[in-house]
Structures are given as C-alpha cells and as structure tokens.
Structure 1
Amino acid sequence: MIALNAHSIAQTTPTGDAIAQAVTAGWALGPVAHCVLLRRGFNQVYELRFESGQHAIARLCTERPRGEPNLAYETALLMHLRAQGVPVAAPWPAADGSFSVVLALPEGLRSLLLFDFLPGDPPGELLADIEATGQGLAQLHDAAQTYGGPPSRYTLDLPLLLDASLDRMIAAPTVDAALGREFSALADGLRARFAALPGLTRVHCHGDCHGSNNFMSDGPHGASEGRRVAAFFDFDDAGPGLLAYELAVYLWVLLPRSLETPLSATVLERWHRYLAGYTRVRAIPAADLAAIAPCLAVRQFWVMGEYAGRIPVWGTQAMPTHWLRKQIPLMQSWMNLPTAEGLVAAESATPIATAQ
C-alpha cells in the first residue's frame, strides 16, 4: 500500500449520502430524504429534498484558479438582491448563522453552501424568454447599485479575466512557445483596444450570465400576458466589473465556433431580443456597446485560463494544442464584430435596439 498525502489529491467527489450527512449536521433543517449529484463542473452541485418537504441546492466549492471562494461578497449580494425583489437563488443560513460550513476532504478544506431551489427551465431558444433574461439582468444591475456589503475579493476586469488567464495558459503543457507568443500578442492587442475605450460602465456583475444560469417562469399574470420572469442562480463568478463583459457573455455563447460558419439570422435575432430586454430597463452607452467585441475575446481567454487551471482535475485533453490553435483566428474575428452598432439584424438589416 502506498499512502498519498493531501497535496497529492486534486479533487474528490463526495457522494450524495456524504453531502446529506454534512447538511444534516450543519443546518437545522431536519433529516435529508434525498440528495444526488447534479453536475460536476467548476463546482460540485447537489439537489436535496428534506423530509419536511423543503427543496434546496447544495454547492461544494472547488479550488478555483483565481484563489479563495468569494463567499462573503456573493452571499451578501444575493441577500441584498432578494431584499430588493430580484428573483435569485438566495443562500440558506447554517445553524451557526453563517452561510457555509467547511468540510475536511482529502485535498483540504472546502466550503459547502445551500441555496434556494429554483423551478423552471433555461430560456433556451424562446425569444420571449431571451428578452426577459436581458430585462431581468438589467433589473439585477439596477438593484445592485445600492449594495453596501462586504467587498468582493475579485474584480471582473483585465487583470483577472485576461492577464491571470494568459499566465495560466502559457504555463499549460499543451501551449508551446510559439503558441504562447501568439496568445501574448493577441492579449497585447486587447489591452490596446481597452486603453482606447476609457470610462466604461461598471456594475455588480453576475459574471456568467450565458443563458443557462437563469430559469424562466410565468409572471403574476401568467404566460398569456407575455410576462415571463427570469430568476438567476450560480453567482460564483459574481463581482464588480465591466458591463460590456457582462453583456458579452450571452453573445459569446451564441457565436459559431468556426470561421466557416456565418452568423445566422436566428443568432442575431436572439441577440437583438436580449439587448431589447436589457435596454427596456437600462441604457447601454455607445462605448460599452463598442467594448462588447473585445470582451468576447477576453471571455474566451478567461475560459481557457479556467481550463488551464483545472488540468490536475480535468486533464490536458480538455484543452489540446490543435484546439487552442483554432482559438486565435476565431477570437480575432470576434474582436472585429460591429458591436458598436449593436450588430445588424440579418432579416431587416436594421440596427439592433440600443438605448435612446
């Protein structure tokens, strides 16, 4: 038998039963009737049902490349948003009054939190739901303006999103010296673009509003009134930062991942409706619209940096060299998209709605 120390373990995955035991010990909610792992991604997420009938989501925080979890800011922001009437998955206080308990696992200490279970489904391809998502995000930004709780550990700006991501990528075994130089040159170009865009709007960002971190439900007057409501969850990447980056995240997930695939009328219409929903509540200054294009590339840098930081858990094949080489021309094409004009609706050839 060979014994491994804690530093030799990248990440363990507790069973649903283990999480149920931890929740029973840490929260005064009674016995857990059911607990199952929902997904294993940036964090490990579990669904719980209590014998009392309560329904919750548990998140076991993993080691993030950026550093410690941003729990004090995240939980305080969520409680502020809920108090302001914004539909969010708020945290549940543990028995000691805090919002997390610490589990001692083979790799070290990790925080466990409980959140509201949100019913519904992601907006998907439904245009009314996409527009409601944009509107809900704007309402979230408005409500967060009065937040005065603990400061965030992290700011969603170039040092975190671009510079730190680039450093992790260059250190990855699948990035050779030539590829590293190409990525570094692209990052230099992005810094120059942002230097020419001073005074960008800053908000308290959700940080990962790509269309799968909010669920849709009917408003108080029902779907027949066309009033859909977006409820947001997974604020693990929340923090103060650039509005342009926050908005770019949804466009980023819509864009084709191949230079040979043109932007379709369907993609452009979804983006149009997303911006229309947002601007029904908040204006988007022209400079912020212009900054969305470079933010698309910044978002891709951030994703690749996250993958690079997870090689001990996910392996090198999560970001193979041949895939990385394709990202440079793709990001360069994104940087040249006409987001200053809101892009162009394919069918009508009219500018997408921006703030008046």
Structure 2
Amino acid sequence: MQIDIAQSTPTAAAIARIVEQHYDLGRVVESEFLRRSFNQVYRLGFSSGQRVVARLCTERPRGGPNLPFEAAALAHWARSGCSVSRSLPAANGEVAIDVPLPEGRRALMLFEHLDGEFTGDSSEDISAFARGLAALHTAGERYAGPSSLYDLDLDYLLLRPLEGLLRAPTMTAALRPQFESLGRRLHDDIIAMGELARVLCHGDAHGSNNFVVGAAPGEREAVFFDFDEAGPGYLAYELAVYPWILHPRSADGVFSDKAKGQWRTFIAAYRKARPVGDADLAAIARFMAVRQFWLLGEYAGRVPVWGSQAIPTDYLRRQVTMLTNWQSLELPL
C-alpha cells in the first residue's frame, strides 16, 4: 500500500550530504536543524570555516517558491549597498536544487550566514531597522531583474487568503459570513483610499527577519534575511507588519505605551530616510488587518501538514472579535 506524505522533514545530516554533492563549498563538518515553520531551515558549517543557511522550500497556499526573482532581488540589493543575506548558487550555476522527497521534489536554496541579534526594544535598534527597510525600498526602485511570480496586492494578501480560510475544516456556518463581511469591507475601505504607493517589499519585515549589528562606532545597522515573501506590493502593507507584531493579536488587546513608543520611533526614522504620503500613513492600520487575514490564510493552507488544531474554531471566534475591533484601529504618529 502506498502512503501519501504531506511533508517530510529531512535530518540536518541528510541536508548536509545533499549540499556536499551539489555545491562547491567543501566538506560539511557541522549541521543543525533550526526550525520548521513555513519552510524548513538548516545551518551548515564547512571545513573552510564558512557557514550557510539552507532553506528547504515548501509548497505555499499561493503556489511554488519565487526563486529566480528572490535571488536576483537579493543580488540587486547587495550591489546597491543594502545589507542582505545573498543566495549562493549551486555548482551548476542554478539558484537552487531540487531534492526528491516522499511527497515530491522540493527546492533547496542556500544563503549567506549572518551573525547578530534580532531588533531589540531600544530606539537605536528600531531606528536602524527602519532606516534599513527604507534603504531596501529606495534601492528597489532601480530593480530590473526577473519579474516576481507574486504581487503583494489585495488579491494576494486578502482575497485569496480569505477564500482559503473559508474552506478551513474548523470554519463554521455561523463564522463564515462574518469573515466574508469583514474581508470585503476591509477590501472596499482600502480601495476607497485611492492610489497607494508601491515598493519592492521584503514582505515579512517584523523585526525578527533582520539582525541589528554594530557598524561604525556608535552606529547600528540592520542586516536583512528571509525574503521568501518578497515582491512588489503596497508600501502601507510593508510598514504595517511591524505594528502588527507589536499589537496584541487578541480579542481585547490594546497598544501598550511601550508599543506606541516603539511604533513612533520606527515610523519617524523611516520617514526621515524616505517620505511616506498621507494616504499611505492612513492605510497602515487597515493593512494590519490585511496582514492578519494573510496569516489566517497561511494557517488554513497548512492544515494537511500542521493539522486542523493549528487553527481551532474557538481561535477563529476570537479573530472575528479582534478584526471587528481593528476596523476602527488608529495608529499614533
């Protein structure tokens, strides 16, 4: 009897052997499985002393990985002076290799290893993070490489995740029209705001997909990684990801004074480095709700791997209350 596999998890040692075969980086002397989330991520060390991060890509609700665009965008940002973790080509020159697994072939991509600590609570760290993100957006204006498979528009960020969420096995007949109404109203509210600015987005810039390190004496600099969600999209969405992570994502959550201060530091540092229009500033709070719909859609799409209790019905009920409250959410400036 053939058994279908939703998603397997290769060991770090197995990934090391594959990398030795397909990359001209020498012998792997240490390997570590770092995390299993949207992708599976490993750290490898070579006899030369070089270290890399290996990402075993998974099929997403959106579709397959965006590899040629991601590699080209990283190379462009690096050439433009932005601090990013570039991808490393395989021995055959390809940006990734295919790994045969029980569920099918999956892409394995290698990246430069970075050292540092995630964005902290200090104003210096938050300002460095904001300046770095602004530099990515400014440099992205000159990108002329392969097109992205995905645009971070309302179809990608809101409507398609909503469709996936409505099909979740834990969704109920009572909750379905409530989510539909919330999603449609959010979509219409954003459309009514008129033309909003677009940038080449990191796509997941919440402060833990970058490190903040010491640059010149007394200065802090952000170095960015994990561009799996990168693509052209709304500036307001990109800027909404940080306050989204700061705000309690619970039915009765409110911004703390600390979180308000962190947000003000972030947006002030970003606007000092790069202007933000009034319409885009006003849209950020709405895009925090868009970000939550995107996340719910991602969870719903992973039920075959994570199980239905990754998105239980009682959690969905609380989400309705939270997203209803967020319809009137405003961000301090």
Shared fold (TM-score greater than 0.5)? yes
Query: Which of 175, 178, 191 is 1:182 aligned to?
Result: 178
Aligned length: 333
> Is 1:230 aligned with 2:222?
yes
Q: What amino acid maps onto 2:295 in structure 1?
A: V
Match of 1:333 in 2: 325
- Residue aligning to 1:294: 286
Q: Name the counterpart of 2:299.
A: 307
2:204 aligned with 1:208: yes
Say yes or no: does 1:67 pair with 2:63.
yes
User: Equivalents in 1 of 2:232, 2:245: separation in Å?
Assistant: 21
Q: Distance in 1 between matches of 2:325 and 2:277?
A: 23
Q: Deviations over 1:103-156 (max 9, x none)?
A: 010000100011011110001322210111011000010011100000000011
d(CA) in 2 for partners of 1:332, 1:211 = 26
Shift of 1:262: 3.0
**What's the CA shift for 1:259?**
4.2
Q: Distance in 2 between matches of 1:252 and 1:215?
A: 19
What is the Cα deviation at residue 264 of structure 1?
A: 1.3
Structure 1 residues 11-160: aligned runs within 5 Å: 11-160=7-156
What are the ranges of 5 or more consecutive residues in structure 2 without an aligned counterpart? none
Contact 2:58–2:64 under 8 Å retained in 1:
no
Verify: 1:191 aligned to 2:187, yes or no: yes
Q: Secondary structure at the match of 1:33?
A: strand
Distance in 1 between the 2:24 and 2:231 partners?
Answer: 30
Local SS of the residue matching 1:280 = helix
3-state secondary structure, aligned to 2:109:
strand
Q: TM-score, normalised by structure 1?
A: 0.92
- Displacement of 1:279 after TM fit? 1.0
1:277 correspondence with 2:269: yes
Residue type of the alignment partner of 1:16: A
1:241-285 CA-partner distances (Å, limit 9, x unpaired): 000000000100000123434321100000011112211210110
**SS of equivalent residue, structure 2 residue 273:** coil
CA displacement 1:134-190 (0-9 Å, x = unmatched)? 110000100111000000000111101111101111111100122111000001101
Alignment partners' CA distance in 1, 2:132 and 2:82: 8
TM-score by length of 2: 0.98
Deviation at 1:191, TM superposition (A): 1.5
Which consecutive unaligned segments of at least 5 residues does structure 1 have? 344-351
- Partner in structure 2 of residue 172 of structure 1: 168
CA distance in 2, matches of 1:77, 1:335: 34
Deviations 1:313-345 (A, max 9, x none): 000111100011111221222231223xxx1xx
Query: 1:198-257 CA distances to partner (integer Å, 9 max, x unpaired)?
Result: 1100000000001110001001x22xx2x1000000000001000000000010000012
Cα distance between partner residues in 2 of 1:294 and 1:43: 28
Q: Matches of 1:296 and 1:60 in 2, distance apart?
A: 28
What amino acid does structure 2 have at the position aligned with 1:3? Q
> Does the 8 A contact of 2:90 with 2:97 survive in 1?
yes
Contact 2:33 2:43 in 1 (8 A): yes
2:73, 2:253 → 1: CA distance? 39
Cα pair distance change 1:269/1:84, threshold 3 Å: same
- Worse overlay, 260-269 or 26-35: 260-269
How large is the RMSD of aligned CA atoms in angstroms?
A: 1.0
C-alpha distance in structure 1 between counterparts of 2:265 and 2:16, whole Å: 41
- Give the Cα separation in 1 of the matches to 2:71 and 2:326: 34
* Secondary structure of 1:3's aligned partner: coil
Could you tell me how far apart the structure 2 residues matched to 1:299 and 1:153 are?
A: 19
> Which secondary structure state, in structure 1, belongs to the residue aligned with residue 255 of structure 2?
coil
Determine helix, strand or coil for the equivalent of 2:315: helix
Letter of the structure 1 residue corresponding to residue 312 of structure 2: P
Q: Which amino acid aligns with 2:266?
A: Y
Greater shift, 250-259 or 56-65, is seen at 250-259
Give the counterpart letter for 1:94 in structure 2. Answer: A
Fraction of identical pairs, as percent: 49
Which residue of the other structure, out of 285, 309, 323, is the alignment partner of 1:317? 309
